[in-house]
């Protein structure tokens, strides 16, 4: 707790942190508000070509809302915001050389790393809790009594989302420790998540039959695939979505394994290198 | 002898082709104001970095307070290495609160060190808004927090204007008078001479010389002599085992000691050789001459 207190002191009056934090939630809220509108626009479009029109999708009723909101909150363009926060907080330590001062003042290298891991867990927890509260409020507002009896049926998407968040933030931490420079790290991390991995997918996909066996195991995709699809029955039929009833432990295992490996590498190299 | 604060034994560090520190050994005792003097790139910061766990040594050992180095040892040390390291967006007071938290102190000493360094009025301003001199003083303030047993300052006046230099020096001298142990790395001879009681001269990672500053300054290193027959004088001196170099300028022979010889002993020796002096004077080399000579000897 002592280490976490120190980390919080670094954040509380840090304006940049709060701006990005606020932007993240604004972006997320906008996404949620627009989601139903966009999905139903798609349904309308499809209905033009169908003899029997599909019903409009309802995203915010229980128990589907658990899956839908965790799905929208874990698309890569949204996940990147909290990852950037972590990158800024860790690379700040290197660019301001405060990591050196922390060691000089009597923090061990392991403690320094642990304090950053605690920060990752805390940030993931806060975001998960906020999302859960949003789900409750939206869900109750949109559900009838019959649905409310099924309130917790798909609650497993919440711990699933927490795993996504922690893993993705661990990746960010790994990049931060690796490159140290704020701008460079953000650029490389964003490039990898949004371009390099999709490009790898693109080239793997065409000539090989085993495309789908590899792609879900690339680090970022492994995170995103934890909540694979939204629960939209209309689209499920048309776009050949598989039904995802809950979170699979195997799907969670891949990103956890990646994070553990990355943290292991950070521990090993950080204890060895000069600061 | 007072208690050993820092003991370094055969510490080495190599960066690629450059041997930054080469089997360096030294000892700092309680109450000393110990200067580590050397030109830029001589290994001062690397050495301090190694004993503060910032830089991993290739070989060698060190102890703090006769204990194996640990994070607990470092909490007893107040140190500033190279530049002041603080969060630019946090106030001076908040930055010091972080230092106190890491070291496991309460915040009770923060106002004192801020006042001591003349920053109390600015304590709520962000570090980013400080002038370089103020940043350097805040670094000293953080090092002084809760009266550490050793104060380590690395080039504390580097890049400061004359007023800033004077402020930092006064501060260090004031602290030194209170009996603190201080380790001061500097490339400025003048600074070491003014502040330190002991000095180790470093070049290319080697200790060239180490000892008390007062002794270095007080001990004569050569004699200036002349007689009516300087040629006879020189040939007599050449037979004397305690002198290494002889030179003559303007009728004065300068004889450099290998081993210190008091003037009366030399006088007696020369009389035995039938030489009577017209002039005999001890020459004290200054630390600066010594410093430059040592650097020249080691081929830089």
CB B6 within 8 A of CB B68: no
Choose, out of A7, A9, A101, the residue to mutate when testing the contact with B (most B CBs < 10 Å): A101
CB A264 within 8 A of CB A201: no
How many interchain CB pairs under 8 A, A with B? 80
Give the list of residues 6+ apart from residue A50 with CB closer than 8 angstroms, or none.
none
How long is chain B? 300
Dihedral angle over CA of A97, A103, A108, A113, nearest 10: -10
Query: What is the rounded CA–CA span in Å between residue A74 and residue A122?
Result: 17
pLDDT at A34 over 90: no
Backbone angles phi, psi at A130, to 5 degrees: -60, -45
Tokens (6 digits) for B39: 């030109």
Backbone angles phi, psi at B286, to 5 degrees: -85, 165
* Enclosing H/E stretch for A199: helix A197-205
Contacts of B104 in chain A (CB under 8 A): 106
CA distance readout (Å), A264 to A45, A110, A165, A260, B128 = 49, 11, 18, 6, 35
pLDDT of residue B300: 46
CB B203 within 8 A of CB B300: yes
Nearest to A56 by CA among A72, A38, A43: A43
Query: What is the rounded CA–CA span in Å between residue B265 and residue A146?
Result: 114
CB A67 within 8 A of CB A59: no
Classify residue B34 as exposed, middle or buried by CB count within 10 Å of its CB (0-12, 13-18, 19+): buried
Closest partner residue to A96 among B85, B94, B104, by Cβ? B85
CB B16 within 8 A of CB B201: no
pLDDT of residue B173: 86
Interface list for B 2-61 with A (CB within 8 A):
49, 52-56
Tens of pLDDT, residues A78-111: 999 999 999 999 999 999 999 999 999 999 999 9
Give the list of residues 6+ apart from residue B170 with CB closer than 8 angstroms, or none.
none
Which residue in chain B has the smallest CA separation from A269? Answer: B56
Count of CB atoms within 10 A of residue B238's CB? 10
CB A259 within 8 A of CB A166: yes
Contacts of A108 in chain B (CB under 8 A): 71
Q: Output the CA angle A128-A129-A130, nearest 5 degrees.
A: 90
Query: What is the rounded CA–CA span in Å between residue B124 and residue A180?
Result: 29
Whole-model pTM? Answer: 0.84
Tens of pLDDT, residues B154-192: 988 888 888 888 888 888 888 888 888 999 999 888 788
pLDDT of residue A179: 94
Q: Nearest-CA distance from B136 to chain A in Å?
A: 14
**Pairing mode, strands B220-227 and B277-284:** antiparallel
Closest partner residue to A98 among B85, B97, B101, by Cβ? B85
Query: What is the rounded CA–CA span in Å between residue A17 and residue A85?
Result: 6
**Interchain contact, A275 vs B55, CB within 8 Å:** yes
Tens of pLDDT, residues A173-203: 999 999 999 999 999 999 999 999 888 877 7
Half-sphere exposure of B37 (CA within 13 A, CB side): 30
CB B81 within 8 A of CB B54: yes
Q: What is the ipTM of this complex?
A: 0.86
pLDDT at A40 over 90: no
| Helices and strands (H, E) in chain B, number of each type | 11, 13
pLDDT tens digits for chain B (300 residues)?
Answer: 678 999 999 999 999 999 999 999 999 999 999 999 988 889 999 999 999 999 999 999 999 999 999 999 999 999 988 888 999 999 999 999 999 999 999 999 999 999 988 999 999 999 999 998 899 999 999 999 989 999 999 988 888 888 888 888 888 888 888 888 999 999 888 788 888 999 998 888 888 888 888 776 555 677 888 888 888 888 888 888 888 777 888 888 888 877 778 888 888 888 888 888 888 887 766 666 666 766 676 554
Nearest to A4 by CA among A124, A114, A127: A114
Tokens (6 digits) for B61: 């050992």
How does the average pLDDT of chain A come out, rounded?
87
**Pairing mode, strands B18-29 and B252-257:** unpaired
pLDDT of residue B6: 95
Query: What is the rounded CA–CA span in Å between residue A36 and residue A59?
Result: 6
Classify residue A139 as exposed, middle or buried by CB count within 10 Å of its CB (0-12, 13-18, 19+): buried
For chain A, give the longest Cα–Cα distance: 73
How long is chain A? 275
**Pairing mode, strands B198-203 and B206-212:** antiparallel
Count of CB atoms within 10 A of residue B179's CB? 8
Choose, out of A105, A113, A270, the residue to mutate when testing the contact with B (most B CBs < 10 Å): A105
Mean local confidence (pLDDT), A259-275: 93
pLDDT of residue B28: 95
Q: Which residues pair with B266 in a beta bridge?
A: none
Backbone angles phi, psi at B13, to 5 degrees: -150, 130
Closest partner residue to A96 among B56, B71, B86, by Cβ? B86
How far, rounded to the nearest angstrom, does the alpha carbon of residue A58 sit from its chain's CA centroid?
23
Q: How far apart are the first and last CA of chain B?
A: 35
CB B230 within 8 A of CB B253: yes
CB B210 within 8 A of CB B277: no
pLDDT of residue B1: 60
Mean local confidence (pLDDT), A35-48: 82
Tokens (6 digits) for A78: 């949204």
Tokens (6 digits) for A113: 């790393």
């Amino acid at each position: 707790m002592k280490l976490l207190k120190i980390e919080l002191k670094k954040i509380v009056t840090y304006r940049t942190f709060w701006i990005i934090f606020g932007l993240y939630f604004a972006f997320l809220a906008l996404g949620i508000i627009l989601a139903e509108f966009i999905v139903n626009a798609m349904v309308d479009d499809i209905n033009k070509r169908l003899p029997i029109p599909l019903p409009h999708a309802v995203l915010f009723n229980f128990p589907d809302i658990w899956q839908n909101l965790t799905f929208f909150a874990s698309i890569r363009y949204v996940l990147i915001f909290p990852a950037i926060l972590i990158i800024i907080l860790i690379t700040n330590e290197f660019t301001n050389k405060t990591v050196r001062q922390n060691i000089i003042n009597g923090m061990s290298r392991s403690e320094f790393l642990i304090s950053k891991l605690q920060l990752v867990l805390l940030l993931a927890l806060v975001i998960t809790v906020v999302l859960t509260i949003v789900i409750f409020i939206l869900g109750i507002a949109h559900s009838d009594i019959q649905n409310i009896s099924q309130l917790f049926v798909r609650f497993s998407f919440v711990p699933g989302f927490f795993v996504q968040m922690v893993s993705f933030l661990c990746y960010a931490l790994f990049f931060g420790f690796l490159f140290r420079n704020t701008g460079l790290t953000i650029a490389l991390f964003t490039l990898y998540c949004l371009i390099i991995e999709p490009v790898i997918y693109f080239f793997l996909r065409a000539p090989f039959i085993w495309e789908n066996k590899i792609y879900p195991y690339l680090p970022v995709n492994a995170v995103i695939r934890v909540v694979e699809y939204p629960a939209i029955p209309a689209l499920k039929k048309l776009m050949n979505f598989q039904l995802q009833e809950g979170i699979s432990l195997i799907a969670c295992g891949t990103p956890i394994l990646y994070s553990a490996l990355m943290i292991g590498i950070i521990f090993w190299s950080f204890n060895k290198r000069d600061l | 002898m007072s208690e050993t604060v820092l003991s370094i034994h055969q510490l080495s560090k190599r960066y690629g082709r450059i041997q930054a520190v080469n089997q360096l050994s030294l000892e700092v005792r309680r109450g000393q104001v110990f200067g580590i003097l050397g030109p830029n790139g001589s290994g001062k910061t690397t050495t301090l970095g190694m004993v503060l766990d910032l830089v991993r040594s290739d070989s060698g050992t060190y102890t703090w307070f006769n204990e194996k180095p640990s994070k607990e040892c470092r909490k007893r040390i107040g140190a500033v290495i190279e530049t002041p390291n603080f969060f630019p967006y946090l106030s001076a007071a908040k930055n010091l609160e972080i230092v106190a938290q890491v070291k496991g102190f309460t915040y009770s000493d923060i106002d004192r060190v801020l006042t001591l360094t003349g920053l109390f009025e600015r304590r709520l301003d962000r570090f980013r808004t400080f002038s370089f001199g103020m940043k350097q003083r805040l670094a000293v303030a953080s090092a002084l927090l809760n009266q550490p047993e050793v104060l380590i300052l690395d080039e504390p006046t580097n890049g400061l204007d004359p007023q800033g230099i004077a402020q930092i020096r006064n501060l260090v001298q004031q602290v030194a008078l209170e009996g603190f142990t201080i380790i001061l790395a500097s490339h400025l001879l003048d600074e070491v001479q003014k502040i330190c009681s002991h000095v180790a001269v470093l070049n290319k990672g080697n200790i060239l010389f180490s000892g008390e500053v007062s002794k270095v300054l007080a001990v004569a290193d050569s004699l200036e002599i002349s007689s009516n027959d300087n040629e006879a004088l020189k040939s007599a001196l050449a037979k004397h085992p305690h002198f290494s170099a002889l030179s003559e300028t303007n009728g004065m022979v300068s004889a450099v000691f290998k081993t210190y010889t008091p003037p009366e002993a030399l006088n007696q020796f020369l009389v035995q050789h039938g030489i009577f002096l017209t002039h005999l004077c001890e020459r004290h080399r200054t630390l600066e001459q010594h410093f430059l000579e040592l650097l020249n000897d080691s081929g830089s």
